[in-house]
Structure formats: structure tokens, C-alpha cells
Chain A
């Protein structure tokens, strides 16, 4: 018998709550998930324990949890192997805050819909003057724990993207089937050297986290994959924020978007994990990985990707995992996107989802940020075509400057560009002009359409211009041979 998705969902919700408690503790915390499979049962029973050293638990969290079907089954197959594993379909919760004198214990019956009957207080345990806070939630379910390991690991790997530095997560898997039993220990810790400091903003962390996620192939590796990437510095990262104001109807919230684009190395072919050109979109809801809501999915579809030189082929939603596929996409480029929506106040009773426009705004801000930081990048195909002419134009202009015999003219040109006349080298000047023009083209793209039409000032005359585009027109009377004199 398999553990089903609804159990997994419950588990992840509990882990997520534990994580929030750790995050809010603002102190070094640990979150541990222990999976224990008791032997001898058929079907097997797995005992799960989620413990954290965060702030004490507020029992309101449990009010919205629903009971998965499998709990009831376990009632009839209870064999207690470990003291903390309670097999009668209840959640066993122990929690304490710093200021508390005791550890409070509860049993929460998820099956029970009437709220005041759900939780039953049990005998408290004494703290004997010790100062600590934390929570432990235990439950047991039908089914083999093998199916839990991968999703929980993946969940933790995603959590690392948030780069909350004070929380260390681990997963301990006890297999006691064979003797001596095996214990596998997975640890997920934010790399202290590389991450932004404790005072960094959520957005900074998100950026750093997504970079790591990309470099370590979705955090499956401990260090950057050297087959695929040369250097962290070669990643192109853009970030954007959009906020919604607090009002009577809803709590305020912030949408943060980070986009990382990487150029893969030639050796990426020898890497077994290299991506297949699809873009993964991660979604976080209030510091917890979550399936992507409909509004965000619609926003992704509605972004005008063409103006950034990308053509969206399809948006695939596989159980909340979203992948974007592009048309005519080079195989050596990878794009990774993360969206994080959180309320400005926590905890909040009234959780809302972001609106489609807010998500779009966040994504656009992020794309524009990328474009601004990397001139000549993410240009629409129209602009890229123009940029292909720019090196020749720069060469001509540099040619004009350097072939002049008028020293004053040369000096003027070079000083306008910011070069010292005596020290300027032609290649450097040409390069500078080229980069400047490409930047202007990129900037021009980001202006709203109407501003783009309002042209730069003319080279010579402020004529009343007929803004008819210069077209090669069959000029009257020039009908004879093509070799006009």
C-alpha cells in the first residue's frame, strides 16, 4: 500500500509550518524530519516526526488541516515501536516557547470537524528551568516511507532557494528491516560563505539562492557543476518586485521575481543532469514551496515575451511543477525563474493570492532589470537585427575620427567620449562607441511605444519632418540603365 499524495501534502504543510517557526525565531534553528519504518507489519507503517527549535507553536495552524484517509486505517494496525510514535490517527504535538515553564502536549484529531473537540490537552512535561523553544509533531501512516524520501528532499532543496540562513534542515531515514538497521542522514544547510549576510533582504537571498540552485542542478549537488558552468559570475541575474497595498479587504503582499540565465559550457554534454532547454518556474507562497496558483500561470502566459526576444511555445503544469518551453531556443542557454509571494505581516489569518497583474508586473520588472544590467541582452529580434549592424557603424565612425587630419576635431571627439586624446587607441574607441550604441538600442526598447517614436534630435536641422520612412521609391523619369552615372 502506498502513501498517497494527500498524506504527503499534509506532511509538507507541517514541515512548512515548522520552517516558518524557525524563520521567525531569528536565531539559529534546526528542523528535523525523522522517518521510521516499523518492521513486521503488512502493510508497513511509517512513523513520522517533525521537530524544530523555532518559536513555539500556535495551535491555530492545525485548525485548517484535513485528515487524509490513511490515518483511519492505521488505527487498526498499531504496533508501537517507539515511544513518540502514536498510531491512532492523531497528531501528537509538543510545543514550548522560551518563556514557558513547561512543554505543552496535545493530541489533535484531524478527523474531527468540530473545532473544540479537535484538540485534547495532555499532561505537560516539565522544563526544569531550561530555556528553549521548539515543537515536535508526530504521526504515523500506512505505507512504505520510500515514497516520502524524494519529495521531502526535493522540498528541502527548494527551501534552500530562499536562503534563510538561520535554519538548518535535515532528514533522517531509519530502516530497521535489516539488522543492523541503516540510518541515512540528509542535511540541507545554507552555505554560510556564499550567502548574503543576515541583514540582507529577502530578494537578495532569493537571488543568491536561485543562483546556487541553478549552479548545483536544482540543489542536487553540493557544489557547482563544473561540466556545465564555469563561474558564478557568468550568470545573468535579474530581479523585480511588485507590491500590493494593504487595505480593508486584504493584507498587503509582495511579489518577488528572480530570473537567472546561464550559458552552459561545451562540456555540459558529459553531465548527466544538464537541462533539456525547458525553463523551470519555482513558486513560493509565504516562504514555502507551493504549487503555482492559476493567476501566476496566466501571468506567465500573458507576458509579452517577444519584446524580450523570446517566443513562448508552451506552458506545462505538471502537478504544480511548471515548465516553460521556447521556440528556436539555443541549446546552450538555460533560464530559471522563481516567484515568491508573501504577505507583509506574518502570521496572517487571511491569506490571499496575488493578482495576475501583480505577478506580471513582478516578472516584467525582473526582465527589465536583466536587460538593463546586460546591454544587448534579451533584445527583441528586431533590435537584435539592428545590433548586428552596429559593429560596422562603430567602425565607420571610429574611422572618421581617426582618419581626420584636424587635431582639434579628433580631440573634440575623443573628449566627448571621455577619452584622453593622447592616449586613446582606435580599438578602444570603436569598442566604446559600439557598446554605447547597443545600450541605447536596448534602452530604447524598454521605453513605452509612444516614446520610441519621438526621435532623437536630428543631426543638423530641426526640420518639420514628414515622418515618412525613407523608402526606395521608383524615382520618376529614371528609367534607363541601372548604371546611372
Chain B
């Protein structure tokens, strides 16, 4: 018991070990790049010459820590101060080392021109410039994260715009600077696209009379709910990232949660490990983007689809877990941050070896979904 209290008191100080990415203005980001160039050259041309290693914050689980919300009910994952080296003289990391410099070079040019590019655009530029080093989007993304880990500033500060997949619809008015307010309930069945420009999102004025914020995993479900104008029966705002959440959508959700702190945030995901993973990313953040995204954790609650809803769906709609699902489940279960009731749900999935999609509820009729959500809210059945 004593040990536990000792550990729990340390929770107050966990943030001391937090590594974070600053949000910088273009000239500040350029200055950091310039400093790294100068340091490299100084050491290269010194009497005892060497090629400096790049000191990157370790983006591995071993360097991730949890901040258990003590005074708030938001917990998040963050990256601590353990570093990893990327060295030119090590054959394994040599190419990655060069990639970091190439990305820095391009970002430097982008910042000079005061432009913004998406990661996709960056990929094509790098593919033209240096095809031997960048063959896939993933390599570009990882190299960008390396630069973030090296310079300790957000991607946005480097001129890289998040391309957003997010959509929002419902009882919400958004007013971008110098523009007319947009009514998100009149945006048609596809909703309003969330901008990838985080700066813009930060300066958007939000007004709402909703009582709930509902995060929807899949686009199809979002579409159905919006088309049926469910947000008028249940005063709410629907948000989707159409799958795994991008940073802009997470930022938007976070902004909403701080602007409307009384609104509970409820998540509607498939009953499978991947769905829960998406929920957890909105809720806690991720190790992969830990430097930037720790800030955008929100207190998201799981409304459905859950284990105790399985009696609502036909047996046939329970399909076997895929191998990837099992992998995800295993990974989630080993995470320290996962709370007990989520673990129970996961364990049930693993034990039965089954999963189910939200669409299974349509067996009761296409408008059943709205009723389902309303019932759950009224019963307070969200965890």
C-alpha cells in the first residue's frame, strides 16, 4: 500500500518529464534548423572532426509515460526524455539520417516562402528530388516525425499542414476569421469539412446549443446519422475522422471540449479492437505522435457498440476476429493506460473471438441507430 501511495503522489510530478513539441513561428523554426546546421559544421570542421548524431526523442513505448488525470478527468500518453541516436556512421540509421536532413531542407524552403504543404505534397516533392531515399508516404511521415523529434517543434511549425479527413455536422456554428458563420446543420449529408490548418481552427469561433458531442468512427454511419438529421432529435454535434484520427480532427475535438466543457463526448465505434484503438487515440493520444499530440487528449466515453449490446444484434452479424484484430487487441491490453472496463470488453472480444460492426443494428430498421443512441444516453450507459 505504501508503495502505491508513493507512486500516486509522483503523479503530480510526471509532467516534469514531458517532452513536447513547441508551436513556433516560421522564423523561429528556421532558426532551429539553422542552429542544427551550424552545430554540424562546427563539429565536422573541428580539430577532432566528427559527424554529429541526431538526438531524437525516442518514440517507442519504452519512452512513453502516462499522465493520469488527477485534477481533471483527462489522462494522456506523453513521451519522456529518453533519446535515441540516429547516426550516419551506423549502417542501419545512415539512410534515415540523410532523410532527416532532406526533409529539413525542404521545410526550410517552405518556411522561407511562407507556404504550407500537406504531407502528401511533401512526399511527391521528395520523391522527385531524392527518389532513392523516399519511396513511400510512410517513410516521409516517419522522417517528418524525426524532424519534429529533433527540433522539438510541431509539424505545423515546419510548414506542414495536416490534411484533414474530419467532418463535422450538427448543432454548431463555426465562424472563421473574416468570414460568415457556417451552420453545420445545413451542410448537407456530408457535413462540413474540418480544415487541416490548425492555426485557422484555433481562431475559429464556435457557437453551439448541443448537449452532446458524438464522435463517429465510420463515414457511412456519420452519413446516415446526418442525413436523418439525428442531431435534431438528440441535440448534438457529430464528428468523424473517417477512421483513424488525424491531428486536425483531434485538435478540433479538443477545441470543442475546451470551448464547451460541459458537453460529454461520446464515441460510437465498431465492437472490435480497431474501433477501440480509434477511441483510445482520441482519448489518450498516441506514441507515434506523442510529441505533438499529447495536448489534444479528450475525455471521450464509449457509448457503443459494446459487449452488452450484443443481444441487440443477430448472431450472424458476429464475425470472427481477423489476425490483425488480435494483434491490436494484444497491443492495447499491454498498454498501461487502458482502464479496467475497456480491458473487460477487449477480453470478451478475444475470448469469443468475435467482432461486430455498428451496421448490424440496422436489422432493426435504418432509423434504429438514432433510437439506440438516445436510449443509451438516457440510461447513462457510457463508460
Contacts and interface: CB of A to CB of B under 8 A. Distances in A.
Given A386-B94, A404-B34, A478-B286, A456 B51 contact: yes
Q: Which of B38, B60, B89, B102 has the most CB of A within 10 A?
A: B89
Contacts of B45: 416-418, 436
Contacts of B132: 392
Interface in A463-485: 463-473, 475-485
Contacts of A393: 88, 97-98, 101
Interface string A389-427: 100110011011101111001001100111000000000
Contacts of A484: 119, 137-138, 141, 244, 246
A271 to B, nearest CB: 38
A406 B34 contact: yes
Given A403-B109, A480-B243, A385 B94 contact: yes
A470 B84 CA distance: 6
Contacts of B112: 403-405
Interface stretch (A37-45, A282-290, A438-446): A438-446
Contacts of A418: 45
A460 B38 contact: no
A456 B84 contact: no
Q: How big is the B interface, by class?
A: 35 or more
A392 B52 CA distance: 17
B150 interface: yes
B97 to A, nearest CB: 8
B81 interface: yes
A465 B331 contact: no
Q: Which of A455, A467, A471 has the most CB of B within 10 A?
A: A455
Nearest to B89: A444
B171 to A, nearest CB: 27
Given A385-B91, A386-B91, A417-B45, A469 B84 contact: yes
B51 A481 contact: no
A372 B54 CA distance: 26
A459 B93 contact: no
A457 interface: yes
Given A406-B34, A482-B136, A436 B86 contact: no
Contact of B54 (A397, A459, A485): A459
A237 B299 CA distance: 71
Contact of A382 (B30, B91, B243, B274): B91
B244 A481 contact: yes
B233 interface: no
Given A476-B335, A483-B120, A455 B130 contact: no
| Nearest 10 pairs of A and B residues by beta carbon | A456-B50, A485-B246, A480-B244, A463-B83, A475-B288, A458-B55, A465-B83, A396-B101, A396-B105, A409-B34
Given A416-B45, A476-B287, 20 more contacts: A396-B104, A399-B105, A400-B37, A400-B101, A437-B51, A440-B49, A441-B89, A455-B53, A456-B43, A456-B52, A465-B55, A469-B84, A470-B56, A473-B60, A475-B288, A481-B244, A482-B136, A483-B137, A485-B196, A485-B248
12 contacts: A389-B95, A399-B105, A400-B34, A401-B37, A416-B45, A433-B44, A440-B44, A456-B51, A456-B53, A463-B82, A466-B58, A476-B331
